[in-house]
Amino acid sequence: MLLLRFIRLTRLVWLLPVLVSGCTVLPSNEAGGGDAVALAPPAAQTQYEQAVSAMAAGDVVEAELRFSEFQLRYPDYPGAHVNLAILQSRAGDDSKAEASIEHALQLKPDHAAALNQLGMLRRRQGRFADAETAYLAALAAEPGYRLAHYNLGVLNELYLQRLAPALDHYQKYQGLGASDQRVEKWIVDLKRRIAASQRTANVTE
């Protein structure tokens, strides 16, 4: 039990820098619809970039302030709500995070990053089936959305004890970007555990 708790903590702590690295400057798929991003004034792009830079630098107060200001001036960009949700989650304020996620999904119901954050929120709430549904919805919206595979791996391995699906999602996560040495170690460990479980099953039959 203590080992499982340590592994779980390791997985979740590692997730934080992955989340921050996923923040980008107004990609087209974060628009509320159509070509809204292309039509956005240059000032919007600049202000968003400044907010993301503050977030990447770990300046939570400055980042939250800038994203909040951005929302007031440009309310139709779900990405700003998603990034606020990330900041609020890291501060332990899940009620605010949920409101930010809901705003993002009202603007764009198939916003992969918002659905991924919803899944993480539901996992923290112990609503594992809802978390899985949200992560799968993120992948349905954007099949190459790497973080959803990572989170499905964590959910299946540590919370649902479904090792084979966890392995599958970790491998897909690895296949969608630069190889992650830590995740590669988890893959090796899962393969070992699955093989051991199969050997045990064969002995008992």
**pLDDT surpassing 80 at residue 3:** no
pTM: 0.81
- Model confidence at 22: pLDDT above 70: no
SS3 track for the chain: CHHHHHHHHHHHHHHHHHHHHCCCCCCHHHCCCCCHHHHCCHHHHHHHHHHHHHHHCCCHHHHHHHHHHHHHHCCCCHHHHHHHHHHHHHCCCHHHHHHHHHHHHHHCCCCHHHHHHHHHHHHHCCCHHHHHHHHHHHHHHCCCCHHHHHHHHHHHHHHCCCHHHHHHHHHHHHHCCCCCHHHHHHHHHHHHHHHHHHHHHHHHC
Per-residue pLDDT tens digits for 130-167: 999 999 999 999 999 999 999 999 999 999 999 999 99
Domains of the chain: 2-197 (1.25.40.10)
Round the average pLDDT of the chain to a whole number and report it: 84
